Amino acid sequence: MSIFLLLFLEFFKMGALTFGGGYAMIPFIEETVLRHGWMTTRELVDFIAVSESTPGAFAVNISTYIGSEVGGFPGAVLSTLGLVLPPFIIIILIAKVYEKFKQSTIVQGAMLGLKSTVVGLIAATVMSVGLEVFFSGGIKTETFLSANFYVSLGIFAAALFLLLYKKLNPILIIVGSAVIGIIFGYTGVISV
Amino acid sequence: MKQKFKLCLQLFLTFMKIGVVTFGGGYAMIPIIENEITDKKGWIDADDLLEVVAISETTPGPIAICSATFIGYKIAGVCGAFAATFGVVLPSFVIIYIISLFLRTFEELQVIKYAFFGIRAGVLALLIKAVVSMFKKAPKNIVAYIIMAASFATVAFFSANVIIVIVSAAVIGLAATLIAKKAGKKL
């Protein structure tokens, strides 16, 4: 299959099957990019940070980025088009009958499953990203003795506290984590 | 005809503006849509806006795309839907395409390597926050909890295919709702 058709189809599937938008798409994206070798988990995490720091919807940003990385400008256009097309068509089709659609048992039943599965799916992504952040060198004794591990742990704990209890803006979290990384890097505490 | 074209052009420009100023996408966009579309233009009222959020949640795809298409369609039909959606996508597309051209070279710089080392731990916290907020919006009953746990376990430990997990979850949710309805019970 041509790479352009593949990009279009993969992102079409994501556009058609992810509910809730944004981070709810990450598990799907992760599986897709790993399966095709388009990105590693680490590159995906880095891109989440880039996307949070630039305007626009996360899903659009990542489809454009992967499309461009894999297939240049035409790849970027086709991935983004693939992502946008399913919601575009579906919304136009149901806009007029939305009241009925919303109250139907079928929609309500399916939404019960979809809203629940997304929680489990993102939790699974948290686990794979957590392994990447703390144990990229494997789970062994040396990991727990390295400064890298504790610097990551400290940034993670502080960021989580500030996000959940102080409702800090995600961009500030990213900028703050970057500054701490740079300080510990140039003072020779961590090795990257 | 000319009137409609003008309306579509306005929709395109307004949604392009929304696309430029929204960081974080999705829900971050709703207050900005409210400001631009409801307060300034008066195109839709506050009740309609609630409907926009609800429809975006019950249909697949990114919230930003769903809401742009829906609002555009309500105001000016298919042409409006196209104009609004194209407008909201264009800024991110251009910005990210330009970034994609130099991101890999940029990441080779030592200072950026250090920065991303820190950032990755921060992003992990962002993802956990996403789990927490998705959990708050999810239904709270035994079926929902089982689906959450099963989705996590199958993907995290058995690398299950995400599409199959999503479709199964929808089918199980539907089956449970139908069974509960038939038995006259609440889930």
Average pLDDT over all residues of chain B: 90
In the predicted structure, residue B23 carries a pLDDT above the cut 90: no
Given A59, A92, A148, which is nearest B81 (Cβ)?
A92
**Paired tokens of A96:** 């007029």
- pLDDT given at position A96: 81
Name residues whose C-beta falls within 8 Å of residue A114's C-beta, 6 or more positions apart in sequence: A19, A20, B166, B169, B170, B173
Question: What are the distances in angstroms from CA B68 to CA A46, B39, B73, B91?
Answer: 28, 16, 8, 14
Contact residues on chain A for B163, CB-CB shorter than 8 A: 13, 17, 28
In the predicted structure, residue B14 carries a pLDDT above the cut 80: yes
Q: Which of A70-84, A92-106, A115-129 has the lowest mean pLDDT?
A: A92-106
Contact criterion met (CB below 8 Å) for A42 and B116 = no
- pLDDT given at position B44: 86
Give me the mean pLDDT over the A149-154 stretch: 96
Give CA angle at A63 (A58, A66), nearest 5°.
120
In the predicted structure, residue B22 carries a pLDDT above the cut 90: no
Query: To the nearest whole angstrom, how far is the Cα of A178 from the nearest Cα of chain B?
Result: 4
Q: Which of A56-65, B38-47, B89-98, B106-115 has the lowest mean pLDDT?
A: B38-47
Q: Which of B40-54, B55-69, B141-155 has the lowest mean pLDDT?
A: B40-54
Contact criterion met (CB below 8 Å) for A22 and A59 = yes
Q: How confident is the model at residue B168 (pLDDT cuts 50, 70, 90)?
A: very high
- pLDDT given at position B57: 80
Domain ranges of chain A: 3-134, 137-192
Tell me if the pTM is above 0.95: no
Given B55, B78, B163, which is nearest A98 (Cβ)?
B55
What is the rounded radius of gyration, in angstroms, for the C-alpha atoms of chain B? 21
In the predicted structure, residue A170 carries a pLDDT above the cut 80: yes
What is the rounded radius of gyration, in angstroms, for the C-alpha atoms of chain A? 19
Give me the mean pLDDT over the B41-69 stretch: 86
User: Which tens digits make up the pLDDT trace of B101-137?
Assistant: 999 888 899 999 999 999 999 999 999 998 998 899 8
Q: Which of A21-30, A67-76, A118-127, A147-156 has the lowest mean pLDDT?
A: A21-30
- pLDDT given at position B26: 67
Q: How confident is the model at residue A52 (pLDDT cuts 50, 70, 90)?
A: confident
Query: To the nearest whole angstrom, how far is the Cα of B5 from the nearest Cα of chain A?
Result: 19
- pLDDT given at position B66: 92
What does the alpha-carbon distance between residue B111 and residue A5 come to, in Å, rounded to a whole number? 37
Q: How far apart are the first and last CA of chain B?
A: 51
Query: What is the torsional sign of CA B164, B170, B173, B178?
Result: negative
Question: What are the distances in angstroms from CA A47 to CA A26, A104, A150, B51, B163?
Answer: 11, 38, 23, 32, 23
Interface-testing mutation among A32, A108, A115, with chain B (most B C-beta atoms within 10 A): A115
Q: How confident is the model at residue B24 (pLDDT cuts 50, 70, 90)?
A: low
Contact residues on chain A for B31, CB-CB shorter than 8 A: none
| Cβ atoms < 10 Å from Cβ of A167 | 8
Contact criterion met (CB below 8 Å) for B123 and A174 = yes
- pLDDT given at position B25: 64
- pLDDT given at position A137: 78
More confident residue, A157 or A140: A157
What does the alpha-carbon distance between residue B8 and residue B13 come to, in Å, rounded to a whole number? 9
- pLDDT given at position B178: 94
User: Which tens digits make up the pLDDT trace of A15-44?
Assistant: 998 887 678 888 999 999 999 999 999 999
Would the CB atoms of A57 and B162 count as touching at under 8 Å? no
Scanning every residue of chain A, which has its alpha carbon at the shortest distance from the alpha carbon of B107? A46
What does the alpha-carbon distance between residue B159 and residue A172 come to, in Å, rounded to a whole number? 33
ipTM of this model? 0.90
